Amino acid sequence: MIDTRGLSCPIPVVMVQKALKNGAPASLEVLADAQVAVENITRFARSQGYQVAVAEDGSDFTLTLTK
């Protein structure tokens, strides 16, 4: 799980990019607290062949990336 809460873009996308390069996991969970981070992470993950499910919990989001 990657916690990107409190970080502004492009840092959350860079963190996800590094995690996917290190072994390309079949699934990955990402915590975010900004809509723009959710959109950017989703766009990047889809460009890498991942499906993205987003669950909102108050002001936080959990993104589940699966191949």
Residues belonging to the active site: 9
- Rounded to the nearest 10 degrees, the angle between the axes of helix 11-21 and helix 35-47 is 30
Angstrom distance (rounded) from CA 4 to CA 61: 10
Tell me the CA end-to-end span of the chain in Å, nearest whole number. Answer: 16
